[in-house]
Amino acid sequence: MVLASFIGTTIEWYDFFLYGTAAALVFNKLFFPTVDPLAGTMAAFATYAVGFFARPLGGVIFGHFGDKLGRKSVLVTTLMLMGVATFCIGLLPTYEQAGVLAPVLLVTLRFVQGLGVGGEWGGAVLMAVEHGHRGKRGFYASWVQAGVPVGLLLANAVFSVCSSMPEQDFLAWGWRVPFLLGILLLAVGMFIRLRILESPLFQAAQGKAEVTPRLPVLEAIRLHPRNVLVAMGARFAENAAFYVFTVFVLSYATTRLGTTKIDVLNGVLIGSAVQLVAIPFFGALSDRIGRRPVYLAGAAGLALFAFPFFWLVETRATAGLWFAITLGLVVHSAMYGPQAAFFSELFSTRVRFSGVSLGYQLASPLAGGLAPLIATALLKWANGKPWPVALYLIGMSAITLVSVWCARETNQVELTEMPEGSPK
């Protein structure tokens, strides 16, 4: 079950991350060519953010059906949405071919991607968490989280290969290849997800007449208002840092520092590969010493590393760039590793899908979705100096530190016996 969730999540995030890489490297030229390069990059990042603003809506919609009908059916639907939208992006006409219709279609498909991924995370995590693994929930759930760097690894690897072709060919048709390949991954993911079994905790809950509220998302807010805010705040540092370290850095290093696309993409590939070890490690560590200590250490580490990250990148040395991205993603892993189990343990079974999706996805547009756009705007405001971006990351860390500090430890919570409205 963990393997099935891991593979499905990998495919889903491959689709989602392709857009981020393309937004940083090519969409400004293909869909917004009438503005200057920096403004074009900001426009591309703005369309990138659209997917994040769709994620809370996707979380509410699919969280509702996940709590009413089951986790499995939702996971099949979200994977289909993502796969089809990604494939269609690869078929889009450019601005030169269709004028203003081109960016309109791009934004529409990005919105569909956001809806899909908004429901994906909660379902995939719960399929792992609700199958048991008492005492090892952090470790097993972290493998679902590890599907994210694998998706990023695949997306950047394919883009790295395609972007090595002559610039003219890459802009003409090469950028489409990674998006079109998504249809093959969709077929694999659908085959796997149609064969998985429903969550046993959900099935047990369905046997009780009172377990399914009419509107699970409202019930989650009524029963667990504090925990929704805790989950939301806990994501700010993790989400913003990830997209600064993997998306913003692509445009910053290539356009402002003259680094080659291949060098930056390779840095993200190395960092993503290291995360495959780091995320399960921190998930397992949270089983031993608690979710809060590990998460707090990650948020504090991000605050301390914010300025050194840019110092390393600004050396313009390939080794310094790679080390900066890799260490940044290790710090991110300390928050992301225990996150799936931590958030799942904050909510009771009958509203768990809605609760984790709401808390997780509400932060997405405010933290991750706007991070590349805010970072680019701050860079422009400071005349190319990255110090405001470092302060921005420190501010995100402060929000997460306060949120997690206010939470109770959850790693010993027994999900099958958890009373409504606790832990608070």
Judged against a pLDDT cut of 70, whether residue 212 lies above it is answered with no
Is residue 423 situated within a structural domain? Answer: no
pLDDT at 370: 83
Return the residue matching tokens 């991205």.
Answer: 325
Is residue 284 situated within a structural domain? Answer: yes
Is residue 424 situated within a structural domain? Answer: no
How many angstroms separate the CA atoms of 244 and 381, rounded?
Answer: 17
Residues 6+ apart with CB under 8 A from 276: 146, 149, 150, 153
Confidence of residue 35 (pLDDT cuts 50, 70, 90): low
How many angstroms separate the CA atoms of 235 and 359, rounded?
Answer: 9
Residues 6+ apart with CB under 8 A from 228: 220, 221, 355, 358, 359, 362
Among 231, 233, 309, residue whose Cα is nearest residue 271: 309
Is residue 422 situated within a structural domain? Answer: no
pTM value? 0.82
Answer yes or no: are the C-beta atoms of 370 and 49 closer than 8 Å: yes
Q: Report the mean per-residue pLDDT for the chain.
A: 85
Answer yes or no: are the C-beta atoms of 152 and 17 closer than 8 Å: yes
How many angstroms separate the CA atoms of 38 and 35, rounded?
Answer: 8
pLDDT at 190: 79
**CB burial class (10 A; 0-12, 13-18, 19+) of residue 161?**
middle
Q: Residue 358: in which H helix or E strand, if any?
A: helix 352-364
The arithmetic mean of pLDDT across residues 408-424, rounded, is 66
Total structural domains within the chain: 1
How many angstroms separate the CA atoms of 379 and 73, rounded?
Answer: 43
Confidence of residue 418 (pLDDT cuts 50, 70, 90): low
* Dihedral angle, C-alpha 228, 231, 237, 239, nearest 10 °: -90
Q: Give the tens place of pLDDT for each residue, 333-362.
A: 999 999 999 998 998 878 888 888 888 888
- What would the two tokens of residue 294 be? 């590990």
Is residue 155 situated within a structural domain? Answer: yes
Answer yes or no: are the C-beta atoms of 46 and 107 closer than 8 Å: no
How many angstroms separate the CA atoms of 322 and 315, rounded?
Answer: 11
Among 140, 126, 133, residue whose Cα is nearest residue 63: 126
Judged against a pLDDT cut of 80, whether residue 41 lies above it is answered with no
- What would the two tokens of residue 309 be? 């990250």
Is residue 258 situated within a structural domain? Answer: yes
Among 156-165, 296-305, 310-319, the minimum mean pLDDT is found in: 156-165
**Which domain, by its residues, includes 177?**
2-417
Confidence of residue 26 (pLDDT cuts 50, 70, 90): confident
Residues 6+ apart with CB under 8 A from 336: 142, 145, 148, 238, 242, 275, 279, 282, 298
Judged against a pLDDT cut of 50, whether residue 381 lies above it is answered with yes
Q: Give the tens place of pLDDT for each residue, 112-151.
A: 988 888 888 888 888 878 776 678 889 988 988 888 888 8
Confidence of residue 192 (pLDDT cuts 50, 70, 90): confident
The CATH number that applies at residue 384 is 1.20.1250.20
Q: Give the tens place of pLDDT for each residue, 245-283.
A: 988 898 889 888 888 888 888 898 899 899 999 999 999
In percent, the amount of the chain with pLDDT more than 70 equals: 91
Confidence of residue 153 (pLDDT cuts 50, 70, 90): confident
Q: What share of the chain is helix, strand, coil (3-state, %, to 5)?
A: 80, 0, 20
How many angstroms separate the CA atoms of 259 and 160, rounded?
Answer: 14
Judged against a pLDDT cut of 90, whether residue 406 lies above it is answered with yes
Judged against a pLDDT cut of 60, whether residue 419 lies above it is answered with no
Among 384, 339, 374, residue whose Cα is nearest residue 124: 339
Cα–Cα distances (Å) from 233 to 38, 318, 366, 424, in that order, read 31, 34, 10, 15
Note if the bond before 423 is cis, omega within 30 degrees: yes
The arithmetic mean of pLDDT across residues 27-48, rounded, is 73
Is residue 225 situated within a structural domain? Answer: yes
pLDDT at 375: 92
Among 304, 282, 300, 281, residue whose Cα is nearest residue 291: 282
Is residue 55 situated within a structural domain? Answer: yes
**CB burial class (10 A; 0-12, 13-18, 19+) of residue 36?**
exposed
